[in-house]
Structure 1
């Protein structure tokens, strides 16, 4: 039974979850907030199930929060999910369903991220973050994917133009609202 401050979490493990590396919960000190940059949860699930590595695993966050506030756990906290370069072993990845730049992620003419995050989704995220702060003793920090992956890459429409590879959760993510309600500090930029 969830506590009043935590959402109901639906366990929906990815098919390869047992192949992901185990890690001690004591080393998890960071949450990384992402947006799926896909149209819906079903498409995000299909992307998460894709095997991309020789280990038989792929890219996925630990938790997915749908627009209506439904929270799904695709990867247990004690497994290392592949969601952000260089920080996976220490981080929990939370994906918010949001179209972002879909389907033109790297097209220089389509870099605006203009889908707002619904209140139900942000409320569920806050509840999940509070729950994780209690469950994970070392958890102290939070960052956006865009804070940690600042690589510039050639635009898909014009290779002479460079665009940021990751922009999520994007300019419409309500950082002040979230930070005011959780016991986590945003990593310095």
Structure 2
């Protein structure tokens, strides 16, 4: 016997299915100051002297913001320069942290800056890494199933466009210290990271096994 769904439920299903896969452009401020600071970062930290802050994507790095809302997370990244509450990294560069993408708790994907423009989101690897920030992540606000679905979709989207070799969680970045992709010149510049959590990364990896990313360095 064929089941007929009410029109309201059918519309709801169509809307929810269509939400994953849409990228909304919401650019952070990328003015001349941010451009200059990005070029300076590439030169001072990596020894890369370039005319434009372009990257050659080889890696996707997943993060969490530990900030409860998209609005506050966006605000944290929007200014070109670091806020006063990040003194531990400000002396190394005044460039504010950011990422190319941010995924809200309902799964909405926002593109904060061009995919191949450098963002400061992972030590040693910004020159080759596309960052994906997920809103939330605190103990009382774990990442959501909608965010998981959107991360998986976004990884597939990026892997189709670029020669992506690695998918990592931010907490795994130091495994690349002896890898050819690692360019950070200051051996003392390291910060301990836990995002986006081992459980979230395991779930993501299980859903993109077919993309056959390279194994991480031991």
Query: What TM-score, normalized to structure 1?
Result: 0.72
Structure 2: which 5+ residue stretches go unaligned? 1-17, 39-51, 83-89, 176-190
Aligned residue for 1:134, secondary structure, equals helix
List structure 1 segments (4+ residues) > 6 angstroms apart after TM superposition.
53-56
User: Which stretch of structure 1 is more off in the superposition, 126-135 or 176-185?
Assistant: 176-185
Q: Is the 8 A contact 1:71 1:124 kept in 2?
A: yes
2:90 maps to 1:86: no
- Measured in 1, the distance between the counterparts of 2:72 and 2:196 equals 18
- Report the aligned-residue RMSD: 2.7
Which is richer in helix? 2
Aligned residue for 1:133, secondary structure, equals helix
Q: Match for residue 21 of structure 2?
A: 7
Q: Match for residue 148 of structure 1?
A: 173
Structure 1: which 5+ residue stretches go unaligned? 101-112, 151-163
Equivalent residues, number: 157
Q: Which has the larger radius of gyration?
A: 2
Which is richer in strand? 1
The within-5 A match list for 1:25-174 is 27-50=56-79, 51-52=81-82, 57-100=95-138, 113=139, 115-136=141-162, 138-149=163-174, 165-173=192-200
Aligned residue for 2:207, secondary structure, equals coil
Which deviations, in whole Å up to 9, do the C-alpha atoms of 1:22-75 show, x marking residues without a partner?
325xx2110111000111111111110132279974110110001101000111
- Measured in 2, the distance between the counterparts of 1:94 and 1:17 equals 21
